Each structure stands twice: as structure tokens, then as C-alpha cells.
């Protein structure tokens, strides 16, 4: 693995030239230069789409066994390069090492799930032997949709990419990938590994490029699907320009947790403190808003603050670090502005609210109360080490507070009351409800996706594979 650091990857070739401008990729904590990537030209993007289209005609004709064999080789190659990939994730994404190790293991699981699902992924037999269908038989069969245009985020530079690559490989699609400018190197490393294990040339193409070239990929009619993970603003814009192609959007949120009066204060506070500030809150299902029944609010607040104070902030390379740097200067500046704005508007700071290290972009875990929906820290996606803690008079009021958002990705509900369990299932406007744990819970094969501004469609291997195929109905 040594080609990926300074070149784009198109049809099995590495291009160190581009439009004459470059993206400098830096270590997010030390500032050390990691790579100087060329920005791809429109002609190179066109070549990548052409290559993916040609490769699709080859790859889709491989048997499931042949595709699984290649995927198994990729799994082994990724396993062999675990240490190097973890180092890369820590460096380019600023992710705490233990969490980067978790991401690597999840990436392996995601690929393994796709391998297993590929062997069983099929249509269904439709009963036709009644009414006007007597004597006939019918079934459905899934066919790969074609070239998939993939745009991925920085916070899981390998595993969220794998959530697009693995199902595409399983069903027979090819890909053109535009990785995140903050952390693009994991995508190029994966492409190189695919090259080394023998995937047909053009099955994956990875290009660092400017916005107008990325939009060229989205607008082009040859890719038949757009799979995007990122901010809601960008995602919905891309949907508006993607034309007739299929579209799956995994977008942001300001995930909420609701704590009922009958649960363990210590256990719920500990779980939510860790979930709110892991990776400096740079996770789309990071716990941002916490609503606690008034009967236990003061005791919960005390334990939550104590647990938050235990979290180590600093160098992501150090083993016990939980809260690392914000990804770039824009995120750092925005977070400082939002904190200052909330203070000015009357929010009470229970903890933090200050910069710990300007150069390394470290902000102390910050807990607010006395907030309202006019404040960005409450109504928008913070993607920062910020949590809002508020009391509610009862469980139903808490459900309304959780729903008081234009987002709806996942929610955590802590309760041991069966009636409240049923009520939450019936009333919460989110894609996933996690009981007695934080909204940040995710296992990679589960269906994952939001409602409202949080997205469109589902990920999770079987569900992504369904999105990446077209169903054909056959009667005889």
C-alpha cells in the first residue's frame, strides 16, 4: 500500500496530475502534512464514469461465487493491513485510537456481512394459482442497478465508505467515489487493496475533486444511483440535481435521548455522557439533546457532569482519549460561535464552554441547560462536543420534545415502563428507537436511516443491496 497518498484512481491507474490545484491533507492533531492530492478535472471525472460503466458490464456478469471470492480476498487484505489503516484513520480523521480500532473492526464486519448476504440475496416466489392466474407461476429477481455515485463523509472514512462499496460489490454494481476532503486517504487505500486482489479494472474509481466536478458526477445520467452520506443541506441539494437516478441519503441529526423516572440514574447518565462526547460529538447519531423527567433531573445532572468530567480530552493517539480535535478550522470556528451565541441568548453553561487548545482545535466537553429551539445548539446539528440537558414534566412531554426537531435519525429512550415503551414506538418520529441505550447505537447489518430532514432510504447490508438493485417480475 503506497500509491494512494498523492494520486487519483481511475480504471486501475493512478493520476498524480489534475487541474493544477491540490488538496493538502493534514494530521488533524499535529498538523503534519500527510498528502498532497490533485484535484481531478472534468475530463478525468468523465473517464472515471466511462470506466465504471464499462466495468459494470463485466462485473455484473460474474457469478455470485466469483464476486464472493474477490470480496473474501479483499477481507483478507484489509485484515493484513489493520494496523496501517488504523494509523491512517487516527491521522486523517483525528479519531481517538480505540475508536479508530473499532471502526476498522466494523469495516471488516460490514464486508463480511455483505459476503454472507450475497449468498442468500434473492427475490421471492409469488403465488399466482388463483383467480385469473390459475396455472401460472411467478417470481421476482434482483438485478444490479449499474454505476453507483458515492459521496462519503470524514467521520467514518473507511466504514461509511464500506457501507457503499460492500453492498455494491455484493450485487454486481461498479462505483465512482468522491471521498471527503478532510479525510480522503482511506478511500484511496481501499481502492488500492481492491486493485491488488484482482477486482476488474474500473469497478471502483476514486477521485478527489472540487464541488463543480463532484456535481458533474451527480448530474451525469450514466450513474444510475446516488449514495450520499453527509450534511442535510448538501444532501438535499444533490437530490435536487441528480435527475432520475435512484437516491439514498444518510444525513444528519441532533439526536435526542429521553430519560424516564424509573431507570438507573447512574447507568443512564454514564452511557449518555460517553455517547454525547465520543469523537468530540462528530457522529451523526451523537447524543445532543437529553430530556430528563423532573423527578430525577437534579440527581441525573449531577452524575452526568461527573461522568463527563472523567472523559479524557487531547491527543487521539493516546489510548484513553475520548474527545479529540474538531476536524478543521471551519468546524472549530462554528462551534465557538454557537457556544458564544447560546450564552448570549441566555443558556446556562453547566460544564465547559471554553477552548482548551486553539492550535489543536480542542474544545472542552460542553453541557448547556435553559436552552430553547431558537438556539442553534438545540435546533441544528452541532457535530461538536456539545450536549443540551433539560427537564420535562412527564414522559409524553418528553416525547414531544424529542420530536421537536426537523431531524429524525435515531432516538434513545430509557424506560422500564411497558406502556411508555409502546407510546414511544407509536409516537416518535425517527428512523430508529434505541431502548435503554443512547441514540448512537448501531450494528452494521441493521436497517439504518432517518425521516424528515435526516434522510431518504436505508443502509445496512441487505437494505443497501435492495436499494442498489432493480426488481424484475417474471410470469410463466
Catalytic site residues?
250, 284
| Residue 291: closest CA among 439, 457, 183, 423 | 439
Residues 6+ apart with CB under 8 A from 251: 229, 230, 231, 232, 235, 236, 284, 409, 450, 453, 454, 455
The x, y and z cell numbers of residue 335, run together, are 462551534
Report d(CA 287, CA 302) in Å as an integer.
Answer: 18
- Left, alpha or beta for 333 (phi > 0: left; psi -120 to 50: alpha)? alpha
β-sheet bridge partners, residue 313: 323
Tell me the three cell numbers of residue 225.
444511483
How many angstroms separate the CA atoms of 207 and 340, rounded? 38
Instruction: Kindly state the DSSP code that residue 468 receives in the 8-state scheme.
Output: T
Taking the mean position of all CA atoms in its chain, how far away is CA 442? 11
432: cell is 430508529
Is there a contact between 163 and 110 (Cβ–Cβ < 8 Å)?
Answer: yes
Report the C-alpha gap between 386 and 365 in whole angstroms. Answer: 6
Q: How many CB atoms lie within 10 A of CB 340?
A: 11
Q: How far apart are CA 389 and CA 367, in angstroms?
A: 7
Task: Give the CB-side neighbour count of residue 191, counting CA atoms within 13 A.
Answer: 31
Distance CA(93)–CA(104), nearest Å, equals: 13
User: Do residues 214 and 192 touch, judged by C-beta distance below 8 A?
Assistant: no
What are residue 386's DSSP bridge partners? 366
Give how far Cα 193 sits from Cα of 77, 93, 157, Å.
Answer: 7, 20, 15
- Rounded Cα–Cα distance for residues 255 and 219 (Å): 31
200/332 Cα distance (integer angstroms): 42
C-alpha span between 45 and 213 (Å, rounded): 7
| Among candidate residues 156, 152, 151, the one with its CA nearest the CA of residue 100 | 156
Amino acid at each position: 500500500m503506497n500509491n494512494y497518498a498523492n494520486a487519483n484512481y481511475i480504471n486501475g491507474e493512478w493520476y498524480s496530475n489534475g487541474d493544477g490545484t491540490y488538496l493538502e491533507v493534514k494530521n488533524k492533531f499535529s498538523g503534519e502534512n500527510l498528502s498532497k492530492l490533485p484535484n481531478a478535472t472534468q475530463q478525468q471525472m468523465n473517464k472515471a464514469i466511462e470506466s465504471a460503466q464499462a466495468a459494470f458490464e463485466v462485473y455484473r456478469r460474474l457469478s455470485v461465487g466469483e464476486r464472493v471470492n474477490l470480496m473474501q480476498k479483499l477481507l483478507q487484505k484489509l485484515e493484513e493491513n489493520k494496523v496501517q489503516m488504523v494509523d491512517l484513520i487516527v491521522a486523517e480523521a483525528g479519531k481517538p485510537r480505540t475508536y479508530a480500532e473499532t471502526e476498522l473492526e466494523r469495516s471488516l464486519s460490514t464486508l463480511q456481512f455483505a459476503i454472507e448476504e450475497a449468498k442468500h440475496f434473492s427475490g421471492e416466489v409469488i403465488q399466482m394459482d388463483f383467480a385469473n392466474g390459475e396455472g401460472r407461476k411467478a417470481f421476482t429477481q434482483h438485478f444490479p442497478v449499474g454505476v453507483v455515485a458515492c459521496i462519503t463523509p470524514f467521520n467514518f472514512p473507511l466504514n461509511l465508505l464500506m457501507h457503499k462499496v460492500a453492498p455494491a460489490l455484493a450485487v454486481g454494481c461498479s462505483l465512482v467515489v468522491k471521498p471527503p476532503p478532510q479525510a480522503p486517504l482511506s478511500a484511496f487505500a481501499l481502492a488500492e487493496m481492491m486493485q491488488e486482489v484482482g477486482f476488474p479494472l474500473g469497478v471502483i474509481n476514486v477521485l478527489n475533486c472540487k464541488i463543480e466536478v463532484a456535481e458533474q458526477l451527480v448530474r451525469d445520467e450514466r450513474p444510475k444511483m446516488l449514495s450520499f452520506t453527509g450534511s442535510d443541506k448538501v444532501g438535499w441539494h444533490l437530490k435536487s440535481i441528480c435527475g432520475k437516478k435512484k437516491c439514498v441519503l444518510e444525513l444528519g441529526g441532533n439526536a435526542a435521548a429521553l430519560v424516564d423516572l424509573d431507570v438507573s440514574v447512574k447507568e443512564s447518565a454514564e452511557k449518555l455522557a460517553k455517547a454525547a462526547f465520543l469523537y468530540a460529538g462528530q457522529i451523526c447519531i451523537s447524543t445532543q439533546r437529553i430530556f430528563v423527567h423532573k423527578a430525577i433531573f437534579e440527581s441525573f445532572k449531577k452524575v452526568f457532569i461527573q461522568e463527563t468530567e472523567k472523559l479524557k480530552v487531547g491527543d487521539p493517539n493516546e489510548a484513553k482519549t475520548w474527545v479529540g480535535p474538531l476536524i478543521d478550522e471551519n468546524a472549530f470556528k462554528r462551534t465557538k460561535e454557537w457556544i458564544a451565541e447560546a450564552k448570549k441568548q441566555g443558556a446556562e453553561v453547566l460544564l465547559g464552554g471554553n477552548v482548551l487548545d486553539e492550535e489543536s482545535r480542542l474544545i472542552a466537553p460542553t453541557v448547556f441547560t435553559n436552552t430553547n429551539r431558537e438556539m442553534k445548539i438545540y435546533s441544528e446539528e452541532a457535530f461538536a462536543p456539545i450536549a443540551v440537558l433539560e427537564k420535562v414534566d412527564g414522559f409524553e412531554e418528553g416525547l414531544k420534545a424529542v420530536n421537536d426537531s426537523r431531524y429524525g435519525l435515531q432516538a434513545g429512550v430509557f424506560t422500564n415502563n411497558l406502556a411508555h415503551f409502546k407510546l414511544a414506538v407509536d409516537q416518535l418520529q425517527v428512523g430508529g428507537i434505541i431502548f435503554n441505550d443512547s441514540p448512537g447505537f448501531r450494528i452494521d447489518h441493521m436497517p439504518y436511516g432517518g425521516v424528515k430532514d435526516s434522510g431518504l432510504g436505508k443502509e445496512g447490508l441487505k437494505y443497501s443491496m435492495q436499494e442498489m438493485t432493480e426488481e424484475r417480475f417474471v410470469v410463466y
